[in-house]
Amino acid sequence: MPLVKAKIRFGHSPDPDDAFMFWAIAHDKIDTAGITFTHIVEDIESLNRRAFKAELEATAVSVYTLFQVADKYAVMPCGASVGDNYGPVLVANNPIYAKELSNKRIAIPGLNTTAYLTLRMFLPDFKEVVVPFDKILDAVKAGDVDAGLIIHEGQLTYKTLGFHKVADLGEWFYEMTKLPLPLGVDVLRKSLGRDVMRKVTKLFRVSIEAALENRQEALEYAMKFGRGIPPETADAFVGMYVNDYTVDMGKKVRDGLKLLQQAAVEHGILKEAKKVEFVEM
């Protein structure tokens, strides 16, 4: 059998969970025979925009973006960020009911994020204000917006910083569906061909498994991407988004993904439900 070779530019966000998954590849802990990886580290909204142009061979994308680029990319069954009865958190300076935020200004981390999609279904009438995800709490605190939609480690730190939870969209999705909320996935450009896609997926899964088996070492590497958060917060955050679903998303996550896509179409947010294809191992 001939050696499968490819140069893969892999886009991922500068977050502890993504870095944790790539620890083994970044440190040559596994043999990537024939596959050369180059890491493209950018915030998720930048990667989403790249995906619309199919710039990268492999990339993390928001599930909302996946729904729009499914003709160009196939989903790897590993690497998914899944909220199992938790997810993006809507916060405000003071206790407030969600319905009181109708027609109010809410900071969101990007128009192509799953957080925005889910909020648009949860609260159809609000005025979105796009703010870099790590500046949203600042915008809320300053009163520039009436509330903010928090992703990444902000989900764990907002309480200690004095903010109040209005709603957890992962909890809301679970209450509605009894399914986990798929937030982000890793995808491969279909033009790579079946053999390359399968090999890259296998290597990525091995990298994730290696990190879970060498958690402390992988976590020390991931901490470099933690924006100054303490080790226990980084550990908790990685635990939320690198788990069994990340090794293999399985039927529940696929069902959640399909239901989320259908709901987005029914709410008039997506024009069509493009067929989502998975890299079959």
Give catalytic residue positions.
Answer: 152
Bridge partners, 129 (sequence order)? 107
CA torsion 280→277→72→258, rounded to 10°? Answer: -140
Which of 88, 100, 87, 92 lies closest to 139 in space, CA to CA?
92
The token pair at 269 is: 């947010």
Contacts of 212 (CB under 8 A, 6+ apart): 218, 242, 247
Task: State the pairing for strand pair 147-150/105-108.
Answer: parallel
CA distance 30 to 45: 29
